[in-house]
Chains A and B, each alone.
Chain A
Amino acid sequence: MAVFQAVRANQEESMRTLGQVKPWCAGILVGTVLAAGSLVPSSGFAQESVSVRAALVKGALPADDPSASAWNSTPASEFPMSPQVHWPNRIQEVTVKSVKVRALHDGQQIAVLLEYEDPSQDPDDAAGLEFMVGDKKAHFAHGQPMAQVQGGPVNIWYWKNKDNNALDMNAQGFGSLKVQDQQDVKAKGVYQNGTWKVVFSRALSTPDVEHDTQIKPGDFINIAFAIWDGKKLESGDLKEKGSQKAVSSWWYFRADPPPDYSAYYYVALAVGLAAGFQFVIIRKLKKGATS
């Protein structure tokens, strides 16, 4: 009985203090539930690559060396390639079925490495990267006009084995491909064991924002790929040329931003505040219970 009464008294006392502290209790409760709610894992799903990530490197960028060892430690994304059957002249079968892509940047320059299998090395082998220019969306097939959306141009970085360098080009619609007056892109390819490795490089940003894609570290932009097997057929024609090529859809591309640790400072602050807040509440509750 005595024990029971003591518990009762204790209970009544603590009830009396409740009046003052309720909102705080509610705070802890709501906070815990909310925080638990945020633990909900965002649905991670296994799939093929959807983006190319250019890691930030300190020191020299392997911008003109497709076989540099720095590339070996760079993770590759892989994208499937289709024969270009979207628009005449079509081609029903192409040599290259997929392309591996790696990228690095040093805060000034970006380097993008394509790697793909091609059984023969031919002077007319070629490869290209495509980007959107400016804020307007551009159709992946040469920025062709769209009926209900105002589109923008595409910027094409084109490499051909014969010249072993890049052309910086623009297009906005089929048949509008044009070499830029101001050439900003470099490219170099190396053929070895049935594999092409081609590295493209450029400054992240250029003054010519009307024609050149601008790469701002941290922002996702769109990228697409095209590859030509320039093998000479017995007829004398090239196996793949012009619109007859292997193509990809738009994928994402991002140059990683410099590391940002500010989130950790905010976390430390939040944990400190939460712990302090708990400490104060419980002290207050205890005082209330014993007074």
Chain B
Amino acid sequence: MKGGVFLKPAILIVGVYVFLKIVLPLFTAPLPASLIFLYLALTTTGIVIFATLSGPSTDAFFGPIVRFLTGEGQGGAAQGARIAVLLLFPVLVGWQTYTSTAPSDQPPAENRTIHPAPPGEYTGLSNPVPNTPENVMTGKGLYAAFCSPCHGGNFDGKGPASRGFNPPPANFSDPTTIAMLQESYLFWRIKKGGVGLPIEGMPWKSAMPRWEVELPDEWIWKIIMGEYDGAHQKPRTWE
């Protein structure tokens, strides 16, 4: 029952780790290792502070540690565990030092914002072209001519010219692209292209053309209609 005082802290630390490493990334971007490390450090410090709040709890917490470290009156398995801990501690400290001082061999991490905020004049515009079957057809035709080499005839981002581009051309049938966006936003992206992105969108990497130099606005609005229809998505609207 000696381990009793440590059971809860151990569960807590493992729980926090599992939460940060596995649960949280289900909802947001994965946390960098340094941040996970910081949270674990805070948790541990919190546990130690909590355990040392009162005299008796302090003793209950540190008594077993002292007995374990000195190895007094221990034998067999406990002695083995003690030696393992005494060896492990310097090794872990060494490893920690290595990971924080060894020069990194990895290219810089990239955090491209995929859907940065559009310039003010491109918010809340509505499609001026009536949504008629002919206009949708025309839009699909223009899409096939201008967009499908990259975004694909199936609207899946896998056009014959897509393979070399990084970031890859957007996959419109994926619910996280145009289904999340308003027509107004698409109008901005299509008109201004990759080079129209703000710095967090890494405009220097995007192959998305700046169509305003080649296509009139009316065509762009028709393409937007054809694009949603072909990809079986609906634009996001103001609720």
Contacts and interface: CB of A to CB of B under 8 A. Distances in A.
B180 to A, nearest CB: 22
Contact of B59 (A18, A32, A257, A266): A18
Nearest to B201: A148
B58 interface: yes
A103 B199 CA distance: 30
Nearest to A148: B198
A220 B165 CA distance: 20
A14 B107 contact: no
Interface in A35-67: 35-40, 42-43, 50-51
A114 to B, nearest CB: 14
A166 interface: no
Interface string B64-77: 01110110110000
B149 interface: yes
Given A14-B63, A252-B107, A39 B95 contact: yes
Nearest to A50: B107
A254 B194 CA distance: 26
Contacts of A83: 149, 160-161
Given A10-B73, A38-B96, A148 B63 contact: no
A248 B164 contact: yes
B138 interface: no
What class of interface size applies to chain B in its complex with A? 35 or more
B207 A274 contact: no
A113 interface: no
Interface string A114-155: 000000000000000000000001111100111111010000
A37 B195 contact: no
Nearest to A17: B66
Contacts of B90: 271-272, 274-275, 278
B40 to A, nearest CB: 4
Interface string A64-97: 0000000000000001111101111010110001
Given A34-B41, A278-B86, A82 B93 contact: no
B52 A22 contact: yes
Contacts of A262: 101
Nearest to A154: B204
A189 to B, nearest CB: 21
B164 A263 contact: no
Interface string B2-45: 00000000000100010001000000001001001100110011
B37 A266 contact: no
B95 A38 contact: yes
Nearest to A11: B63
Interface in B106-155: 107-108, 149-150
B230 interface: no
Nearest to B167: A249
B160 A282 contact: no
Contacts of A286: 70, 72
A15 B63 contact: yes
28 contacts: A14-B66, A25-B69, A32-B85, A32-B88, A34-B41, A34-B44, A35-B93, A37-B36, A50-B107, A80-B164, A82-B165, A85-B149, A86-B207, A140-B204, A146-B196, A148-B197, A149-B199, A149-B203, A218-B103, A249-B166, A251-B166, A252-B108, A257-B103, A263-B101, A270-B96, A271-B93, A274-B93, A282-B69
Interface of B: 13, 17, 21, 30, 33, 36-37, 40-41, 44-45, 48, 52, 58-59, 62-63, 65-67, 69-70, 72-73, 85-86, 88-103, 107-108, 149-150, 160-167, 192, 194-199, 203-205, 207, 209, 214
Given A26-B52, A35-B93, 14 more contacts: A14-B63, A25-B65, A29-B48, A33-B13, A35-B96, A39-B92, A88-B214, A140-B204, A148-B199, A252-B108, A254-B107, A266-B97, A271-B90, A285-B69
Interface pairs A-B: 10 shortest CB-CB: A82-B164, A35-B92, A274-B93, A270-B97, A252-B107, A274-B90, A249-B166, A271-B94, A37-B40, A263-B102
